[in-house]
Each structure stands twice: as structure tokens, then as C-alpha cells.
Chains A and B, each alone.
Chain A
Amino acid sequence: GAVVSQHPSWVICKSGTSVKIECRSLDFQATTMFWYRQFPKQSLMLMATSNEGSKATYEQGVEKDKFLINHASLTLSTLTVTSAHPEDSSFYICSARGGVTGLSYEQYFGPGTRLTVT
């Protein structure tokens, strides 16, 4: 159980275009999903926290108008990178927070989307 999928797994796009990444929890409902970015040889950086039916909470320094997040259902969150530029090239990973186990909140990660902007 606790499977999270992402689509697409790899995308190459031209500078100035927009790219939408989907994150789905396949076998559980996720009221909260997280979006991360990871540059080569660096740690995960949280971009935003997405709650179903409400606006996402963005981390400091992340442009909400550039990285549009929609969490329309309990199993789907989308991240749209608008007007992508080469510096947006990165590994984008989503995660979904699992149910409470005692006092524990486990995160399950999607397989990631590798974005290359040319």
C-alpha cells in the first residue's frame, strides 16, 4: 500500500513553455501533498505544501505565480511550472502524507519528474 505516482517521469521542454506535473496517491486518500525540488547532489528542498481544497502554502523564496499548485481531489495534486527557464531544470518530487499511525505522519514519495528546459 501507500503508492504515489507521478506523471510524466521525464520531460524536456523549450524555454518559455509551461509544464504540468501530476501527483496521484493510488491506494489512499491524501489530504496533504508536498512538492519538492532536488538539484544534483543536493538535498530535497520543500517548495510547497498542498492541502486538498485550499490554497497551497509556499516556502520562502518560491514564486507562487511561477509554480502553480492545484489539489483538486484527495488523490491528485498538480504542479505547473509556468514559463519554464533552464534554471528550472531539476528533479521534482511529490509526496503524500499517509494516515496517522499513532502519532506518526509518514510521507510516501512519488518517483519524481526530471525536467529539462532547453
Chain B
Amino acid sequence: RKEVEQDPGPFNVPEGATVAFNCTYSNSASQSFFWYRQDCRKEPKLLMSVYSSGNEDGRFTAQLNRASQYISLLIRDSKLSDSATYLCVVNMYTGNQFYFGTGTSLTVIP
């Protein structure tokens, strides 16, 4: 079983729509969780860390559910510029073990 699993998509949504991605992780000892965004032929960029209490940054909301071992990312009022691949990343308690999901592809359509 993979450490981190994501639905690869693709998700094709109209501008202004709300879209949600989920990511599950297999190891209950996982400590830190992140969402990264990767544009085509570019490096991943940190979108947001995911805290236990959930956190929001503008149109983006991240949630963590430790009991069910998943994290989610909600994007409201989608913009064309949100089109990218969203990577779920989980960090083990040792600090140096990061596990990446395969990414979820999002295309926002005009």
C-alpha cells in the first residue's frame, strides 16, 4: 500500500466552482501535512501546511482528519490560475521522511 494516495483526476471545473481534493495516508505516526502546487514543468511550491484544527488562506481551506487518516483541500471560487497539479505531502515523525502523493490535476475552464 502506498504511503500517500490521491485521486489523480483530472478535475475539470468551470470558473467560480468549488472543488475539493482528498488525500489519504497509511501511517498513523505521520506528523506534518502539506499541500503543494506544481505547475507544468515547474517545481512544487508550498501552498499551505495543514494543521490539526484546519486552516484557511483566502479561497483555500485545508482540513486534517487523523481518525480517518486523510487531509483535504477545498478551493472556492476557482480561478483560471488555479489550474495546476496539487500534491499532498506527509512527513513522518523523524522529520526527514516525506511522502508525496502522485498529485491531482485541476483544470479550471473559462
Contacts and interface: CB of A to CB of B under 8 A. Distances in A.
| Chains A and B belong together in one complex | yes
Interface of A: 32, 34, 43-44, 46, 49, 51, 91, 93, 97, 100-101, 103-112, 114
A67 to B, nearest CB: 18
Interface of B: 31-32, 34, 36, 41-46, 49, 87, 89, 91, 95-96, 98, 100-103
Contacts of A43: 87, 100-103
B98 A34 contact: yes
Chain A interface mostly: strand
Contacts, number: 51
A104 B32 contact: yes
Nearest to B101: A43
B46 A107 contact: yes
B71 to A, nearest CB: 13
B102 A109 contact: no
A105 B32 contact: yes
Given A43-B100, A43-B103, A93 B43 contact: yes
B28 to A, nearest CB: 15
A107 B103 contact: no
B101 A107 contact: no
A109 B45 contact: yes
A104 B88 CA distance: 15
Nearest to B105: A41
20 contacts: A43-B87, A43-B100, A43-B102, A43-B103, A44-B44, A46-B98, A49-B96, A51-B96, A93-B44, A97-B95, A97-B96, A104-B91, A105-B32, A105-B98, A106-B46, A107-B34, A107-B46, A109-B36, A109-B45, A112-B42
